[in-house]
Amino acid sequence: MSINYSEKIPNNVNLANDRALQRALEHWQPHFLDWWREMGPHHFAQADVYLRTAVGVDAQGWASYGAVKMPDYRWGIFLADPVAGRTIGFGDHAGQPVWQQVPGEFRSQFRRLIVTQGDTEPASVEQQHLLGHTCPSLYDLRNLFQVNVEEGRHLWAMVYLLHAYFGRDGREEAEELLARHSGDTDKPRILGTFNEPISDWLSFFMFTYFTDRDGKFQLKSLAESAFDPLARTCRFMLTEEAHHMFVGETGVGRVVKRTLEVMKELGSDDPAAIRAAGAIDLPTIQRYLNFWFTSSLDLFGSEVSSNAASSFANGIKGRPDESQYEDHDCRTASFSLDTPQGREDVPLRNAMNQVMRESYIKDCEIGIKRWNLAIQRAGHEALRLTLPSPRFHRSIGVWAGLSVDPSGNAMEPAEHARSLPRWLPSEADRAFVHSLMRRVTEPGKMAAWIAPPDRGINNLPVEYEYVRLQ
């Protein structure tokens, strides 16, 4: 489906045919732009940024590239093409036609899910508000801004659903999405990870690798929904989400590559020597990895959840790639769950959060293997980056608040507290990483703590001026 860019709000949902909805969204639009000016990329409104903009929703040729000032970016409402004859793929309503309207009895559940998903989109922009001032290159600065504008469009996607299908309640929720702010004492964002500060680029790369990967799995589960407009919205959002995870995987990989280069120059893997040479040592990278991975694990919710069971039963939220499973009812199936008391069998429907979390963990391993392959090829057989145990550093679920080490072993609380600086970024670690964050804006040049990318964007050279600063 083509996107109509002649409209005040670009869209492919025939917005002009629903004047009341169009007026409501045009009323929200200036509030969004005010939020962007205040909470979006700081002091870059006049920069010309080489951005991609969606021009269609099919997989082939869906985006165009060109220099854009971010306040002029054409945010809008884009749904993937409908699937003819699509039926509900799971739960108690499996096999029935998908819904084009929200059933009244599921209204509050759908609204809560859409609001929670929508809340994460502006939150990440707010977390990255000041990062542009310490960019390691114009290539990276452009990628940051691409992530930012697409998170802004993902907010539009959820706001459209709230306005179009939830009446006054939806309009009020849409306003609240702009009233909460990441890390705000009085009105923080809904999910804890989205209130964590991102004040350095190593955190940004870890966030886009781990936390945006959680976003991928949440979107894939919602793309299975019986509510077809939600499913179609999330299917298109996944097209854009892939770039965010690419930024994270290649970003961490380039940090590791530069560290390995410095280790070779020094003939040493001593962390102090590596830091003195202006690179980030592998143990510090591991501690950042531990923090963002475990924080992102909490985003899936409790291992045993009546809400998850209800969402699956009612066709609201399925498993990612639901078609790969044989049993789409799961009414009588059980799931073997790891708990502090040992293995426990629970109803599968109640364990859907854990099913998704385990799939997420396997997906996270892919990048870890690539980073470790680079370390191995550099001749460091004994050094590895690893995912910590999902029991470690948890704030939600059966392992929340327990004294567990990264290998998953229980510890005495006092010893655990003393050991945390070895496993999670300390204030000294954060201060060191922050000390490296010096802005580099000469085309093709990179900060000393990160290697150049293997290739540029959209077949352009790495040396291209991806951001023209005013």
Q: To which residue do tokens 């004294």 refer? A: 403
Mean pLDDT confidence for 232-237: 95
> Three-state SS string across the chain, please?
CECECCCCCCECCCHHHCHHHHHHHHHHHHHHHHHHHHHCCCCCCCCEEEEEEECECCCCCCEEEEEEEHHHCCCCECCCCCCCCCECCCHHHCCCECECCCCHHHHHHHHHHHHHHHHHHHHHHHHCCCHHHHCCCHHHHHHHHHHHHHHHHHHHHHHHHHHHHCHHHHHHHHHHHHHCCCCCCCCCCCCHHHHCCCCCHHHHHHHHHHHHHHHHHHHHHHCCCCEHHHHHHHHHHHHHHHHHHHHHHHHHHHHHHHHHHHHHHHCCCCHHHHHHCCCCCHHHHHHHHHHHHHHHHHHHCCCCCHHHHHHHHCCCCCCCCHHHCCCCCCCCCEEEEEECCEEEEEEHHHHHHHHHHHHHHHHHHHHHHHHHHHHHHCCCCCCCCCCCCCCCCCCCCCCCCCCECCCCCECCHHHHHHHHHHHCCCHHHHHHHHHHCCCCCCCCCCCCCCCCCCCCCCCCCCCCCCEECC
What is the structure's pLDDT at 270? 97
Mean pLDDT confidence for 18-38: 97
Mean pLDDT confidence for 42-56: 94
What band does 357 get if pLDDT is binned at 50, 70 and 90? very high
What is the structure's pLDDT at 304? 97
Element spanning 212, H or E: helix 212-222
- Angle (deg, nearest 10), helices 107-127 and 306-313: 120
- The separation between CA 171 and the C-alpha centre of its own chain, rounded to angstroms, equals 25
Closest by Cα among 41, 137, 133 to 465: 137
For 219, the token pair is 């979107």
Element spanning 240, H or E: helix 228-266
Q: Kindly report, residue by residue over 382-421, the tens digit of the pLDDT.
A: 999 999 999 999 999 999 999 999 999 999 999 999 999 9
Measured CA to CA, the distance from residue 241 to residue 150 in angstroms comes to 8
Measured CA to CA, the distance from residue 158 to residue 118 in angstroms comes to 5
pLDDT over threshold 80, residue 469: yes
Measured CA to CA, the distance from residue 106 to residue 360 in angstroms comes to 27
What is the arrangement of strands in the sheet containing 48-54, beginning at the earlier edge strand?
63-69, 48-54, 467-468
Q: Kindly report, residue by residue over 135-159, the tens digit of the pLDDT.
A: 999 999 999 999 999 999 999 999 9
For the four alpha carbons of 31, 33, 38 and 40, in that order, the dihedral sign comes to positive
The dihedrals phi and psi of 2, each to the nearest 5 degrees, come to -80, 160
Mean pLDDT confidence for 445-464: 98
What band does 128 get if pLDDT is binned at 50, 70 and 90? very high
Q: Where are the domains of the chain?
A: 15-468
Q: Which residues pair with 48 in a beta bridge?
A: 69, 468
Mean pLDDT confidence for 249-254: 98
Q: What is the dihedral of CA 339, 343, 344, 347, to 10 degrees?
A: 90
pLDDT over threshold 80, residue 60: no
What is the structure's pLDDT at 342? 95
Mean pLDDT confidence for 166-171: 97
pLDDT over threshold 70, residue 59: no
- Where does 267-345 have alpha helices with state H? 271-276, 282-297, 306-313
Looking at the chain, the whole-number percentage of residues with pLDDT higher than 70 is 99
Rounded mean pLDDT of the chain? 97
Q: Count Cβ atoms within 10 A of the Cβ of residue 375 and give its class: 0-12 exposed, 13-18 middle, 19 or more buried.
A: buried
Q: What angle do CA 82, 149, 174 make, to 5 degrees?
A: 70
pLDDT over threshold 80, residue 211: yes
What is the structure's pLDDT at 1? 58
Mean pLDDT confidence for 73-87: 95
What is the structure's pLDDT at 56? 86
Q: Count Cβ atoms within 10 A of the Cβ of residue 283 and give its class: 0-12 exposed, 13-18 middle, 19 or more buried.
A: middle
CATH number given to 15-468: 1.10.620.20
For 254, the token pair is 């380039």
Side chain identity at residue 182, one-letter code: S
What is the structure's pLDDT at 55? 87
DSSP 78: -
pLDDT over threshold 90, residue 84: yes
Mean pLDDT confidence for 172-193: 98
Q: To which residue do tokens 């290539």 refer? A: 139
Mean pLDDT confidence for 120-132: 98
What band does 181 get if pLDDT is binned at 50, 70 and 90? very high
What band does 61 get if pLDDT is binned at 50, 70 and 90? low
Measured CA to CA, the distance from residue 129 to residue 44 in angstroms comes to 10
What band does 79 get if pLDDT is binned at 50, 70 and 90? very high
Q: To which residue do tokens 């201060």 refer? A: 431
Q: To which residue do tokens 């059980």 refer? A: 334
What is the structure's pLDDT at 62? 82
What is the structure's pLDDT at 470? 81
